[in-house]
Structure 1
Amino acid sequence: MKRSVLCLAVLCALVGEASAQSNVNMFGIVDAGVRYVKNGSNSATQLASGGIAASRLGIRGSEDLGGGLSASFWLESQINADTGEVIGKFWGRRSTLSLTGGFGEIRMGRDFTPVYRVATLLSDPFGNSGMPAIDSIFSTAKINGVAYSTHYRLDNSVTYFLPNSLGGVYGQATVAPREGVDGAGHTGGLLGYKSGPLDVGVAYGQTKVAVGSVKTAALAGNYDFGAFRLYAGWSQLKYTSATENRYNLGALVPMGQGTLKVNLAQSIGKGGLYQVDGMDNKASKIAVGYAYDLSKRTALYTNLAYIKNKGGAEFVVAPGPVMNGRTSKGVDFGIRHNF
C-alpha cells in the first residue's frame, strides 16, 4: 500500500508537467453518509461511502497524434471515504491505454465487460451505486465454488469500439485471456443504438471456468420522455443446469434542483446451484432515492432500499449485519462532491 501511495504522489506531481505536453487532469468523487441497515433481525448504523456514486480518484489524459489519431490513458481507483482505504486493486476501477481514430478505438487494460455496460449501466437509474444498486440481487461472486471475476470488469482485456460516426449505432468486442487464472478469461460483445431520447443495447459474454462456461446475456435500455426517463432491462446468467434471470423497471424524474429515482427489480434462480432444499432462489427489490443539487458539483441525498428473499436467496442491501432472515432494508443520508 505504501508503494502505491508513493506512486500516486509522484504521478500527481507530474500532472502539471505532463499537461504542458498533452491534456492530463485529475478527477474524482467523494461520497459519504450515515447509513442504517437491518438484515433479518440484525441491524447496524454505519458511516458509509458511495451512497449515490462510488468514491474515487483518477488521472486521465490524451495526446493528439495528428492525422485524426489520438492516444489516451485512464487510471482510476476506488476508495472508502469513511476510512480512506483503497478498495481492491489500487487502479481497480479502470486502468486502460487507448488508440483512437476514424476506425474507432482500441483499448487495452482493465475495464467494464460488455454485458455489464448493458445489463447494469443502461438499465439502472441509480448507476449501480449504493444500497439501491441493482447488482445487489445478482449472483456474481462464485459459481459452484469457483471464483467468477468477470461480471463487472476484466483484467488483461483488449477491446475494439466502433467509431462514433455510424448514425447512433455503437458497439464493442472484447477478449481477455485467462493468463492461468481460472474464471478470469472472457469473450463478449455488445451492440447498441443511441439517438435523441433513446438508448438501447444487447450484449453477450462467456467466461470459462474449471468445468464448462458461465454465459451471460442482457437486453436493456432507457428513454427520455422529458418529464422523466424510463429504464428497463433483462439479464441472464447460465452455468450448466443453473439459470438466473433478472428483470427491472425504473425511472429518473427531474424535480427542479433535485432528482427522484425509483427502481423495481426481481431475480429468479432455477436449477443447479440455486436449489436449496428443493427450493429455487428468488429475490425482489424496491429502491427509492432523492438527490438535491447544492451546486453543479455538490449534492445532498437520501436513499431507501428493501429486499425480500425467498428460497435460498440471502441478498442484502448493503454489507454489515449478518443476514438471519428473509428481508434486508436500509436508509441513508449523505453528501456527494465531484472534482
Structure 2
Amino acid sequence: MRKTIFALTAVCACGAAEAQTSVTLYGVVDVNVEYVNHVGAVPSTSNNFNPGQGGKVIREDAGGYSGSRWGLRGTEDLGGGLKSIFVLESGFNSDTGTLQQGGRLFGRQAFAGLDSPYGQVTFGRQYHSLFATLANFVPGRYATQYEPVGIIAGANFREDNTVKYTGVFGGLTAMAHWSFGVGTTLPQVTPSVPVAGGNGEVPGQFRRDSAYGAGLSYLAGPFGVGVGYDQWNPTIGTGNGAFKKAAVMASYAINGTAKVMGGYRWGQSKDQNGTLLQRDDFYWIGGQYRFSPALDFTLEYDYQNVKNLGGNTHIANPWQIALIADYAFSKRTDVYLTTAYSKNAGLAMESAASNFATSLSLNSYVLPNGQSSMFGVAVGIRHVF
C-alpha cells in the first residue's frame, strides 16, 4: 500500500491555469535468514580466479522475495491529457542499512518525463526494455534471492543516462530505449573474459558504453506473448564490445488461480575485436498457483545451454529449480519461504557464464573447488508501505 504525502492545487496569479500535483512515498522492507551449502569466493585477479574450498553458511540477508527499497513517485497534471512524472527509488540492505547498486542514493530508478495518451517519454536511470517486457513472463517475478536475472536480462538491466518510451494501448505494451552511458562495469572473473563496461559519454566516442533495445508484449484474457531485444556496447580495452540478447515469451492464466509461463532467450557477446566471448541459449518455464487468498506458490525451472565461453565449447550446462511459498497476513505484511537447487553453477545460476553478476552485488553463490551443485533455503518477512 502506498501513502500520499500531499496533494495540492496550484493556481497561477492570473487565474488562467491550474495544475494538480501529487507525491507518493512507497517502499518495501524485506529481510530473511538463509542457509546455503557449498559456498566459495568470487574469482578475481587477487585470488588468481580461485574460489577456494568453501563451505556452508548461515546468514541474515536483505531482499529474499523483493529488493528492499524506498521511493518517491510524483505527477503533475499539465492539462490536455499531458502530465509530468518522476520516480526516485533507493535500494538498501535491510540487514545492514547500507545502500545497494554501488552506493547510489537512487540506484534502483531515478527519472523524470512526460506522460500522454500516446505514451510516456522518460529520462534518467531506468530498467531497460527487455527487462521490463520480461517482468510479466518470469514465474519468480524477479525474486531477488535466487532469480538468475543477470543471465536472463543481462547485468545491465538498469541503465544510467537513458531515454525511454513506453506506450500502453489496451493489452498492447510497446517499449524502446537508448542509453548514452550504461554505468555498469563487469570486473574480470575469469582469465578468458576481460573487464567490460563503464560510464560512457566520452567526447568523440559516442558508441562507448551505449545501449539500446525494444520490447513488445500483448496480454489479453488468459493469453500473453512478448518479444524483446537488448544490445549493450561496453568498453573493453580501448574499444567497444557488443553484448546482444533477444527473447520470446508466453503465458497462460487458468481460472484466475494459476498461471503458466516460459520463454527462450538467445545471447551473444563479442569483444572490441569481434572475437566471440560467449554464446548461450537460456530457457525457463514454471508457474504461479494461488492456493488461497493468503497463500500462493511459485515454481521455476531455468536451463542455460552454454555453447561457447571464451573459446571453451565443452561446458557442463547450468540449471536450477526454485520454489517460493508466500503467506500474506495482510495487504502489507507477508512471510515467505524460498528455496532452490542448482547444478553446474551456484544459486542464481552463478558461474563464469553469468559473470557472477549476483555474487558481485549481493551475497556469494559461487561454487567452490570440487563441487558441482548448491542448495539454499531462506525464511523471511516482507513489509510493503
State the AA in 1 paired with 2:27: G
1:301 aligns with 2:336: yes
Distance in 2 between the 1:158 and 1:297 partners? 33
1:125 aligns with 2:125: no
Unmatched tracts of structure 1, length 5 or more: 1-14, 142-149
Partner of 1:87: 100
Partner of 1:217: 246
- Which of 341, 358, 363 is equivalent to 1:319? 363
CA spacing shift, 1:274–1:193, aligned 2, 3 Å: farther
CA spacing shift, 1:228–1:321, aligned 2, 3 Å: closer
Partner of 2:262: 232
Check whether the contact 1:64–1:70 (CA below 8 A) recurs between aligned residues. yes
Distance in 1 between the 2:177 and 2:231 partners? 11
CA spacing shift, 1:203–1:308, aligned 2, 3 Å: same
Measured after TM superposition, the shift of residue 186 of structure 1 is 0.6
State the AA in 2 paired with 1:247: Y
The aligned runs of 1:184-263 (5 Å cut-off) are 184-209=209-234, 210-226=239-255, 227-240=257-270, 241=276, 242-256=278-292, 257-263=294-300
- Deviation track 1:225-277 (CA, whole Å, cap 9, x = no partner) reads 123101102112212333111101011000111001100010111124262xx
Measured after TM superposition, the shift of residue 199 of structure 1 is 2.6
Partner of 2:42: none
RMSD value over aligned CA atoms? 2.5
Match of 1:20, SS state, is strand
Measured after TM superposition, the shift of residue 184 of structure 1 is 2.9
Task: Calculate percent identity across the aligned residue pairs.
Answer: 28
State the AA in 1 paired with 2:266: Q
CA spacing shift, 1:81–1:159, aligned 2, 3 Å: same
- Deviation track 1:21-76 (CA, whole Å, cap 9, x = no partner) reads 41111000001111111136611101111111111000011011111111111000
State the AA in 1 paired with 2:60: L
- Which of 253, 256, 269 is equivalent to 2:306? 269
Distance in 1 between the 2:72 and 2:113 partners? 14
Partner of 1:20: 8
Partner of 1:3: none
State the AA in 2 paired with 1:20: L
Distance in 2 between the 1:139 and 1:252 partners? 21
Unmatched tracts of structure 2, length 5 or more: 10-20, 40-53, 182-200, 271-275, 346-350
Match of 1:271, SS state, is strand
The aligned runs of 1:73-222 (5 Å cut-off) are 73-88=86-101, 89-119=104-134, 121-135=135-149, 140=154, 150=156, 152-162=157-167, 164-165=168-169, 167-178=170-181, 179-180=201-202, 184-209=209-234, 210-222=239-251
4+ residue runs of structure 1 moved beyond 4 angstroms? Answer: 136-141, 310-318
Check whether the contact 2:133–2:216 (CA below 8 A) recurs between aligned residues. no
My pick for the range that moved more, 176-185 or 319-328, is 176-185
- Which of 299, 324, 336 is equivalent to 2:382? 336
State the AA in 2 paired with 1:79: F
My pick for the range that moved more, 60-69 or 182-191, is 182-191
Question: TM-score, structure 2 length as denominator?
Answer: 0.74
State the AA in 2 paired with 1:50: G
Check whether the contact 2:232–2:242 (CA below 8 A) recurs between aligned residues. yes
Match of 2:367, SS state, is coil
Partner of 2:193: none
CA spacing shift, 1:225–1:42, aligned 2, 3 Å: same
Distance in 1 between the 2:352 and 2:229 partners? 27
My pick for the range that moved more, 304-313 or 225-234, is 304-313
